Amino acid sequence: MGKYVLKRFLTFIPMTLLMSFLIYGGLELVPGDILNTMFPPDILAQMSPAELDVIRASYGLDQPFIVRYFRWLFRVFQGDWGKSMASGVPVKDVIAQRLPITLELALTGLVISAILGSVLGILAALHKGEVIDMILTAIGVVGQAIPQFFFGMVAILIFALKLKWLPIGGRTTPQMTHWYEHLRYLILPAMVLGLTQTSSVMRYARSSMLESMNRDFVKTARSKGIPEWKVNLVHGFRVTMTPVIILIAFRLPALISTSMVIENVFSWPGIGMTFKDAVTAQNYPMVMMIALIIVVMVMLMSLLMDIFTRIIDPRVRLQ
């Protein structure tokens, strides 16, 4: 396994370079002048073409694309991720502040969807063709069809405005003195995020459990007189969870990139809202680094899932 992990880490280098080039090149193709995002229109109207050329030269915008790319890449490896064009704050500081907030929300939602989806999916598989299976299957179809923003607004309407059990949005208040007090603000967005992902995990767990129940080693265990609950739990459940865990793990980077919907609905100050604001304002340094971090997280999660799969199922061979 050690050689496999080392080889995967070595492949990260060219893959990261390729993705960074594609991200930088994709933003280069975005129409418009970057100076329009740096200065208000009235100030730009007062500048002469010579002054604009001087400003472009000061930012290195007069250089060819490939030169600017390698300069940016060299600064990134040195730890200089640039500054936000909206606030002037270093991008590194913004990401260091906002990324843990999004990870808190994404991990909580991931745990909720993993537990509910796995339990309900296996329950539906064990009762295949019965009423409970049809009900859970229908719920899964409906759950995938409901948009996240609609589900979030309904949750705010019921639990925040009507019942007043939970706050409408945000993450903290100036009156808070203990870290655990903000958990009240986490419950509603995490539940919405987790429940919207539960249906797909449930359907995947159901199909995986049905497949494992028809395998030869499960039939052999059942023919030996082993209790049915033990056959399902020890043999079927273990094999079922291997592809389900892979699915769940790959959801984490996706949840980070797609959490902007939930973060905007609940005013959650995470990286998703930051990324949305950066794209809207054409804040290129922020967009490039957030996109690159998500790509690196996907590659790391892929490696971790290979290792976890090998631990869960010893029959898997890493090559």
pLDDT confidence tier of residue 177, bands split at 50, 70 and 90? low
Mean pLDDT is lowest, of 26-40, 42-56, 163-177, for 26-40
Q: Closest by alpha carbon to 38, among 25, 55, 54? A: 55
Residues of the chain with CATH 1.10.3720.10: 91-312
Average pLDDT over residues 96-112: 87
3-state secondary structure of 90: strand
> What CATH number was assigned to the domain covering residues 91-312?
1.10.3720.10
Q: Is the pLDDT of residue 179 over 80?
A: no
Give the list of residues 6+ apart from residue 238 with CB closer than 8 angstroms, or none.
312, 313
Average pLDDT over residues 21-34: 79
Residue-level pLDDT at 232: 67
Could you give the angle at which helices 271-280 and 237-258 cross, rounded to 10 degrees?
Answer: 40
Give me the DSSP letters along 196-248.
Answer: HHHHHHHHHHHHHHHHHHTSHHHHHHHHTT--HHHIIIIIIHHHHHHHHHHHH
Which of the residue ranges 33-37, 92-96, 132-136 has the most confident prediction, judged by mean pLDDT? 92-96
Q: Tell me how far apart the alpha carbons of residues 194 and 104 are, in angstroms, rounded to a whole number.
A: 12
pLDDT per residue over 244-265, tens digit each?
777 776 676 667 766 778 888 8
Average pLDDT over residues 193-205: 83
**Residue type at position 245:** I
Q: Tell me how far apart the alpha carbons of residues 50 and 218 are, in angstroms, rounded to a whole number.
A: 77
Higher pLDDT, 233 or 166: 166
Cβ-in-10-Å burial (0-12, 13-18, 19+) of 32 comes to: exposed
**Residue type at position 118:** S
Q: Tell me how far apart the alpha carbons of residues 75 and 28 are, in angstroms, rounded to a whole number.
A: 18
